[in-house]
Each structure stands twice: as structure tokens, then as C-alpha cells.
Amino acid sequence: MTKINFYDQVADENLKFAVIIARHNGKWVFCKHKKRETLEVPGGHREPGEDILTTAKRELYEETGALDFDMKPICVYSVTAPWNFNGKETFGMLYYAEIQSFEKELHSEIEKIVFSENLPENWTYPVIQPELIQEAKRRGFLL
């Protein structure tokens, strides 16, 4: 069973991921990976020596081509699942970004970005990412 928890903060060295709920012109911004048929919000692993905000900005750019954006931290989240890191609780930082402009083409494993007024039905991480969006709404980041 997958368990998701939310925290206001944890020790910085525990943050392994950054996930960014992004919007552009009133629409959700989702990514479609080249090897999958599902959609996801941008995000990824923290690189050695990188602070978590830098991770979030890098991942948002790599996965969406976002050039100009405003980003704010929402909260820390954690995932505990038998299939994830041997069942250990792993932590990430959840951000919200309002994107103003994009690069003309993507240069990563992402095939395309999708703009939508609605949340997808075909999530890559259906147990996790809808919960992150609900928490962002609960904390007043999404109306």
C-alpha cells in the first residue's frame, strides 16, 4: 500500500525529489514521456550538490521548456510504498509554478507537453500525483 504524507519542512538532506504543479494561461501543464502513454506533472531527482529549488527549476525547464516562470514552494511530501526505495519513506519538495513562456522545442526524455483545463485520467503516477494536487488545493495554491 502506498502512503503519502505532507510536512511543512524536513531536513534539507532528506529531500530527494522536486515536483512542480504548473499552470500556463489558466491551464494545467503536463508532460508525456517518450516511453510512456501517460501524463505527469514535471519533476525529478535532485542531483548531487544541488539545492532543492535549483532541482525544481532545472526539472521544470528540462521537462516543459519553461523559460519564464514564477515558482513558490508548497510543502514537503513523502511517499512510502513497498515498490519504492525498499519501502522506506522518501521525501520531496512540492512547488507551484505559473509559466509565462516556453522554449520552442524540448531537449529531454519528454515527448511533449500537454495543456489541459482538466486533470488527466491516464496518470503515470495515479496514486501519488492527484494527491499532491489535492494538497496544493487544500493549502490554497490552486482555486
> 38-73: per-residue pLDDT in tens?
999 999 999 999 999 999 999 999 999 999 999 999
Average pLDDT over residues 11-21: 97
pLDDT score, position 87: 82
| pTM of the shown model | 0.94
Task: Count Cβ neighbours within 10 Å for each residue of 49-71 and write b for 16 or more, e otherwise.
Answer: eeebeebbbebbbbbbbbeebeb
Cell, residue 94: 512540492
Closest CA to 54 of 101, 110, 95, 104: 95
pLDDT score, position 143: 58
pLDDT score, position 103: 93
Query: What is the DSSP-derived secondary structure letter of residue 42?
Result: S
The CATH code of domain 3-128 reads 3.90.79.10
| Tens digit of each residue's pLDDT (9 = 90 or more) over 69-126 | 999 999 999 999 888 778 899 999 999 999 999 998 887 889 999 999 999 999 999 9
Q: How many helices (H) and strands (E) does the chain have?
A: 2, 7
Average pLDDT over residues 29-36: 94
List the domain boundaries for the chain. Answer: 3-128
Q: Is the pLDDT of residue 142 over 80?
A: no
